[in-house]
C-alpha cells in the first residue's frame, strides 16, 4: 500500500534540515496571505486564530501527515481534524498550498454556493475529515477515529488542533480522560495557545491555567513548544509519534494574529471582522506579498 | 431467509422489555455485521448492551459517564469504517443532541443511536429520567431517521433493519416489560406503517408502548359500536405519509398516541403530513407539555392520560368533531 511504503521511507529522513524548515516557513506565510485575502473577500471571518495556527498547519500538511491529494480516501492515511473549526481559512489555505484544492477557488470563502463554508464541512470538501465549528466535538471525533483505527490494527495516526478557549468546553475533558484510559498512542492533539478568545484574554474570561499540569494529570504526554518555531514543532511531532502507550499533546504557545503587526495580540481580530482594502494591503505587505501577488489575491482571486 | 424467521427467540407471550430484545438481537447479529461496535456510557446493564458486552467484548467500547464525547466519537468511528451503535438512556441522548447533529448527521455518518428508558415507561425513577422530548429533538435533525418499535419482536427486527440501513438512526427501545403484539411471521420495514386492526370510523396512529394501549382502546370502542382502525407507526421519520392519507380518506378522523410530549413527536409528524395531504380532525394523546413523575408505568399512563381509557376518550372527541365538520 502506497502510504505504508512511504511511511517506512520517511522514517529514514532527518527530522528537519534547514531547507525543510525554510520551506515550511514559506508555506506558512503563503497560508497567512491566503487567509487575509479570503477573509477580505468574504467580508467576515476569523483571521486572528487562523494566523496563529498557520505554522502548525504547515508542519502538519507539509511534513507530518501521511496524506496527500491522491490518497485522500486511503484507509491508512493519517487524519487531521480541525477542532477549532472557526480557523477554517487556515485549513483551506493549507489545503490549497499542498494541492488538496485550488488556491483561487479557496478564496471564495463564506459565500452561498461555495464549498468553502465559514466552518469546514466534510460534505463539501473531500480533504475535510469531519465537520467542525462547535468547539469540543472535533476532539471527540478525532478520539473516535484513533480508537477505530487502533481496533482495526491500522498504523495511521490522528491529529487534532484545538483552540485555547475551546478547552473551556467540558467535552474536551471527557475526551481527554477517555483517550488516556484507552491508551490511544495514535492520537496527537495540539493546542493553539494564543491566550486570547472571542471576547477577551483567556484568563479574563475563564482561566485555563495551569494547562500543562492539567494534561499531565489526565495522563497525557505533554510538550510545551513555541508554536511558531518550525523545528520545535517537527521534533515535538517526532516525540509524539514515538509515544505508543498514551496520547500526546503539544501546547503550542502562539501569537494571535501572528505576522500582521496591527492584529498581533489584539482580541478584536478573533472574528468575525471585515477587512478594508487598506487593512488588507497592509497585512499582505507585512506578510511579504509582492505587489503582483497582492493584485492576484485581491483583484483576480475574487472571481 | 426472512428477517422474521431469524428473530431471536427471546420472548414469552409477554414480559420482556424492548431494551433486552434490542441487546439480544444486536448480540445475535454481531457476527453477520462485523463492523458493528457498541458504545456504552456505564449503563450497559440497563440498555440491553450487556448481552453484546458478553458475546463480543472486543467490540464493546466503554466511554464512562460522558455522553457528549461518546456521541461525537461515534462520528469518528464511523469515519474510519466501523458501524457504531451508541447506547444510553433517552434522556442522556438529549444531552448530546448537538453532537448527534454536527458530528453524526451533518457529517452524514452511518451511526445508530439506540435509546432505552424513554417516556413515562421509565416509571419510578421519576420526571428527571423520563425523556418526553427526544423524538421531537431528533426528528428535527436533517437526515435523521427516527424509529420507535412497539414490541420485543419488532424491536429485534428493527435492530436488523437499522444495521442494514445506510444513514443515521435514532431508535427508542423501552424499560418496562412490553406486551408481545407480533408473531414469528412479523416483518419490519423502515418508513412503513402497519394496520394492526381494521376499522372505519376513525384511525388511532400510535408508536411504542402506546400501540398496545391503542389496541385496548379499540376494544373499548368496539363495545360502544365504534369501529377504530389502529396503525402502528413505528417509523416516525420519515413518516408513512401515504398510509396516513389513506386512513384520513377512509376513516375521516385521527387520534395519535405516544409516550412523549404532544408537541413535536408522532402527533406533530402526523399533523404536518395530513395538513399537506388530506386534512381531517386530529386529537393528540401524549403528555400535555409537562414533565413526568415517579410511579409505575401503568399508573403514570392513567395519571397523565396515556392509557386505553384516555385514548378512547380522545376517539369520542374526534368523532364529535368529525360529525360537526
pLDDT tens digits, B4-23: 444 444 444 335 899 999 99
Q: What is the mean pLDDT of residues A82-91?
A: 97
Cβ(B109)–Cβ(B101) under 8 Å?
no
Instruction: Give the integer Cα–Cα distance in Å for B7 and B24.
Output: 10
**What's the whole-number average pLDDT of chain A?**
94
Burial of A226 (0-12, 13-18, 19+ CB in 10 A): middle
Cβ(B149)–Cβ(B158) under 8 Å?
yes
Report the gap between the CA of A134 and the closest CA in chain B (Å). 8
Report the gap between the CA of A50 and the closest CA in chain B (Å). 22
pLDDT band with cut points at 50, 70 and 90 for residue B184: confident
Residue B50 has pLDDT above 90, yes or no: yes
Q: Which three cell numbers stand for residue A116?
A: 468553502
Instruction: Give the integer Cα–Cα distance in Å for A90 and A32.
Output: 7
3-class secondary structure, B67: helix
Beta bridge partners of A222: A249
Q: What is the mean pLDDT of residues B161-169?
A: 98
Q: What is the mean pLDDT of residues A159-168?
A: 98
Beta bridge partners of B177: B17
Listed range (A177-186, A230-239, A259-268) with the worst mean pLDDT: A259-268
Residue A169 has pLDDT above 60, yes or no: yes
CATH 3.40.50.970 region(s) of chain B? 12-179
Nearest by CB to A171, from B68, B76, B81: name it: B68
Q: What is the mean pLDDT of residues A148-154?
A: 98
Report if pTM > 0.90: yes
Return the CATH number at A76: 3.40.50.970
Would you call B64 and A145 a contact, using CB atoms and an 8 Å cutoff? no
Instruction: Give the integer Cα–Cα distance in Å for B165 and A92.
Output: 33
Query: Is residue A140 within 8 angstroms of chain B, CB to CB?
Result: yes
Q: What is the mean pLDDT of residues A259-272?
A: 89
Q: Give percent above pLDDT 70 in chain A.
A: 93
B236-259: per-residue pLDDT in tens? 999 999 999 999 999 999 999 999
Query: Is residue B99 within 8 angstroms of chain A, CB to CB?
Result: yes
A15-31: per-residue pLDDT in tens? 666 799 999 999 999 99
Would you call A178 and B75 a contact, using CB atoms and an 8 Å cutoff? no
Listed range (A114-128, A268-282, B200-214, B223-237) with the worst mean pLDDT: A268-282
Q: Which residues of B are designated catalytic?
A: 67
Which candidate, B190, B241, B234, B236, places its Cα nearest to that of B212?
B234
Number of domains in chain A: 1
pLDDT (0 to 100) of residue A13:
61
Q: What is the mean pLDDT of residues B72-92?
A: 98
Query: Is residue B227 within 8 angstroms of chain A, CB to CB?
Result: no
pLDDT (0 to 100) of residue A268:
86
Would you call B79 and A144 a contact, using CB atoms and an 8 Å cutoff? yes
Interface of A with B in 58-87 (CB under 8 A): 75, 79, 81
Residue A68 has pLDDT above 80, yes or no: yes
The CATH code of domain B12-179 reads: 3.40.50.970
Q: Which is it for the CA torsion A73, A76, A78, A84, positive or negative? A: positive
Would you call A174 and B108 a contact, using CB atoms and an 8 Å cutoff? no
pLDDT band with cut points at 50, 70 and 90 for residue B1: very low
Residue A154 has pLDDT above 80, yes or no: yes
Residue A11 has pLDDT above 90, yes or no: no
Report the gap between the CA of A128 and the closest CA in chain B (Å). 10
Interface of A with B in 203-262 (CB under 8 A): none
A223-244: per-residue pLDDT in tens? 999 999 999 999 999 999 999 9
B193-242: per-residue pLDDT in tens? 999 999 999 999 999 999 999 999 999 999 999 999 999 999 999 999 99
Can you give the residue range of the structural domain that contains A55? Answer: 2-300
Burial B91-122 (b: 16+ CB within 10 A, else e): bbbbebbbbbbbbbbbbbbbbbbbbbbbbbbb
pLDDT band with cut points at 50, 70 and 90 for residue A212: very high
Phi-psi sector, A221: left (phi>0), alpha (psi -120 to 50), beta:
beta
**What's the whole-number average pLDDT of chain B?**
94
Instruction: Give the integer Cα–Cα distance in Å for A224 and A240.
Output: 12
pLDDT (0 to 100) of residue B323:
62
CATH 3.40.50.920 region(s) of chain B? 194-324
Cβ(A190)–Cβ(A252) under 8 Å?
yes
Q: What is the mean pLDDT of residues A168-175?
A: 98
- CATH class for domain B194-324? alpha beta
Q: Which residue has the higher pLDDT, B177 or A13?
A: B177
Q: Which three cell numbers stand for residue B165?
A: 440501513
B111-140: per-residue pLDDT in tens? 999 999 999 999 999 999 999 999 999 999
Helix (H) or strand (E) holding B286: strand B282-287
Instruction: Give the integer Cα–Cα distance in Å for A216 and A195.
Output: 20
Residue B269 has pLDDT above 80, yes or no: yes
| ipTM score of complex | 0.94
pLDDT (0 to 100) of residue A301:
47
pLDDT (0 to 100) of residue A300:
63
Amino acid at each position: 500500500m502506497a502510504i505504508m511504503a512511504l511511511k517506512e521511507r520517511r522514517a529514514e529522513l532527518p527530522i528537519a534540515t534547514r531547507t525543510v524548515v525554510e520551506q515550511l516557513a514559506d508555506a506558512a506565510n503563503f497560508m497567512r496571505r491566503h487567509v487575509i485575502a479570503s477573509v477580505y473577500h468574504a467580508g467576515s471571518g476569523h483571521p486572528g486564530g487562523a494566523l496563529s495556527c498557520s505554522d502548525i498547519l504547515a508542519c502538519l500538511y507539509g511534513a507530518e501527515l501521511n496524506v496527500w491529494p491522491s490518497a485522500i480516501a486511503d484507509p491508512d492515511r493519517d487524519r487531521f481534524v480541525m477542532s477549532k473549526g472557526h480557523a477554517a481559512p487556515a485549513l483551506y489555505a493549507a489545503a490549497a498550498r499542498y494541492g488538496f484544492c485550488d488556491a483561487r477557488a479557496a478564496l471564495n470563502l463564506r459565500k452561498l454556493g461555495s464549498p468553502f463554508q465559514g466552518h469546514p464541512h466534510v460534505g463539501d470538501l473531500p480533504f475535510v475529515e469531519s465537520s467542525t465549528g462547535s468547539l469540543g466535538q472535533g476532539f471527540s471525533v478525532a478520539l473516535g477515529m484513533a480508537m477505530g483505527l487502533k481496533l482495526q490494527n491500522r498504523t495511521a495516526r490522528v491529529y487534532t488542533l484545538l483552540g485555547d478557549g475551546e478547552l473551556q468546553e467540558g467535552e474536551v475533558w471527557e475526551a481527554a480522560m477517555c483517550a488516556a484510559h484507552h491508551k490511544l498512542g495514535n492520537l496527537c492533539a495540539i493546542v493553539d495557545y494564543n491566550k486570547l478568545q472571542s471576547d477577551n484574554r483567556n484568563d479574563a474570561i475563564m482561566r485555563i491555567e495551569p494547562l500543562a499540569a492539567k494534561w499531565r494529570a489526565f495522563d497525557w504526554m505533554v510538550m510545551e513548544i513555541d508554536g511558531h518555531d518550525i523545528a520545535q514543532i517537527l521534533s515535538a511531532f517526532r516525540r509524539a509519534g514515538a509515544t505508543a502507550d498514551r496520547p500526546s499533546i503539544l501546547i503550542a504557545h502562539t501569537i494571535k494574529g501572528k505576522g500582521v503587526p496591527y492584529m498581533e495580540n489584539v482580541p478584536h481580530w478573533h472574528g468575525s471582522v471585515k477587512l478594508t482594502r487598506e487593512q488588507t494591503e497592509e497585512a499582505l505587505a507585512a506578510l511579504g506579498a509582492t505587489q503582483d501577488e497582492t493584485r492576484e489575491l485581491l483583484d483576480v482571486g475574487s472571481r | 431467509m426472512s428477517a422474521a424467521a431469524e428473530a431471536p427467540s427471546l420472548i414469552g407471550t409477554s414480559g420482556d422489555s424492548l431494551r433486552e430484545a434490542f441487546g439480544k438481537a444486536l448480540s445475535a447479529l454481531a457476527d453477520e455485521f462485523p463492523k458493528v461496535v457498541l458504545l456504552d456510557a456505564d449503563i450497559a446493564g440497563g440498555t440491553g448492551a450487556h448481552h453484546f458486552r458478553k458475546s463480543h467484548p472486543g467490540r464493546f467500547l466503554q466511554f464512562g459517564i460522558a455522553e457528549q464525547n461518546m456521541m461525537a466519537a461515534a462520528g469518528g468511528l464511523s469515519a474510519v469504517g466501523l458501524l457504531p451503535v451508541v447506547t444510553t438512556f433517552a434522556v442522556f441522548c438529549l444531552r448530546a443532541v448537538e453532537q448527534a447533529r454536527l458530528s453524526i448527521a451533518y457529517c452524514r455518518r452511518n451511526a445508530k443511536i439506540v435509546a432505552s428508558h424513554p417516556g413515562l415507561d421509565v416509571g419510578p425513577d421519576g420526571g428527571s429520567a423520563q425523556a418526553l422530548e427526544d423524538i421531537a429533538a431528533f426528528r428535527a435533525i436533517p437526515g435523521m431517521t427516527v424509529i420507535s418499535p412497539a414490541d420485543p419482536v419488532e424491536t429485534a427486527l428493527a435492530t436488523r433493519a437499522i444495521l442494514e440501513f445506510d444513514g443515521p438512526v435514532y431508535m427508542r427501545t423501552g424499560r418496562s416489560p412490553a406486551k408481545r403484539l407480533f408473531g414469528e411471521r412479523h416483518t419490519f420495514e423502515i418508513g412503513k406503517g402497519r394496520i394492526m386492526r381494521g376499522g372505519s370510523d376513525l384511525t388511532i396512529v400510535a408508536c411504542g408502548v402506546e400501540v398496545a394501549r391503542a389496541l385496548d382502546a379499540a376494544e373499548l370502542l368496539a363495545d360502544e359500536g365504534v369501529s377504530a382502525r389502529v396503525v402502528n407507526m413505528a417509523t416516525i421519520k420519515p413518516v408513512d405519509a401515504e398510509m396516513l392519507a389513506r386512513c384520513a380518506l377512509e376513516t375521516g378522523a385521527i387520534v395519535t398516541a405516544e409516550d412523549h410530549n404532544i408537541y413535536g413527536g408522532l402527533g406533530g409528524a402526523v399533523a404536518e403530513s395530513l395538513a399537506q395531504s388530506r386534512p381531517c380532525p386530529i386529537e393528540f394523546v401524549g403528555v400535555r407539555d409537562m414533565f413526568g413523575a415517579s410511579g409505575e408505568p401503568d399508573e403514570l399512563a392513567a395519571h397523565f392520560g396515556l392509557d386505553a381509557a384516555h385514548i378512547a376518550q380522545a376517539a369520542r372527541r374526534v368523532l364529535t368533531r368529525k360529525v360537526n365538520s
